[in-house]
Amino acid sequence: MNHVSEPCAARTRKPRGQGASRRGEILDAAKRLFTEEGFAHATMRRIAAEVGVSPTALYLHFADKEAILKAIAEDFFSELLVRLREAHTEEANPLLRLRAGLRAYVDFGLERADEYRLTFQTREVRNLKDPCGETDTADLSFEVLVTSVSDLMQAGIFRIGDPVLIAETIWVSVHGLTAAAVDMHVRMNSELPTLIETVLTTLLTGLSCRDAPAI
């Protein structure tokens, strides 16, 4: 009987010392499979075959596919945090700084649509037990928003209120905008850049004091 090799057998194994590169390959393969086949249907064996390693070798990097999902979310939030901080350092005006951060959030979600869906929108991910609950960078990203809201309240630009509640209100609005932009923009009559700017203007105007400068 002829021996039929596993799909991973034809792949070239990486030499020692390239663990970081291998981790990236695993995450990229998992993102493809989670997106194309759904998180529930993707298996560690399929991910290993896609990367070109044995299932045993894959388990040296990640305990299960939930751990892979968490790593995808951590990387997503780490890069988002960098983008938000860059946007904030480019603007001195606190209101324009917040707007730049919100636009950076939307743009990042559009650039990384598959990861955005996996992190926030996929049904199987939402049903996991707190898949991103320990992602420190997610908390840090939200703290950037809370700090911006607090600064605007202290400056008399935003109405006084609970900064966490207002920050969550802003995030829910911008998340809805991003999710729609990622998956539904082809059904929209408006040009996407114009729609994004209009939503941000409407949101920030609604939170501002009456005598605050125009956005």
The tokens of 18 are what? 């390239």
Terminal-residue alpha carbon distance, the chain: 74
CA proximity to 204, closest of 165, 140, 141, 159:
159
Separation of alpha carbons 83 and 97, rounded Å: 13
- The answer to whether residues 75 and 93 touch, using CB atoms and an 8 Å cutoff, is no
Q: 81-105: per-residue pLDDT in tens?
A: 999 999 988 788 899 999 999 999 9
Q: 24-63: per-residue pLDDT in tens?
A: 999 999 999 999 988 889 999 999 999 999 999 999 999 9
Environment class of 1 (CB within 10 Å of its CB; exposed 0-12, middle 13-18, buried 19+): exposed
CA proximity to 58, closest of 67, 70, 45, 69:
45
**CATH architecture for the domain at 7-62:** Orthogonal Bundle (1.10)
Domain boundaries along the sequence of the chain: 7-62, 67-207
Task: Average the pLDDT over each of 63-67, 160-164, 185-189 and give the range with the smallest value.
Answer: 185-189
pTM of the model: 0.80
Q: Which fold has domain 67-207?
A: Tetracycline Repressor; domain 2 (1.10.357)
The tokens of 27 are what? 């995450």
- The answer to whether residues 29 and 21 touch, using CB atoms and an 8 Å cutoff, is no
Within 8 A by CB and 6+ apart from 184, the residues are none
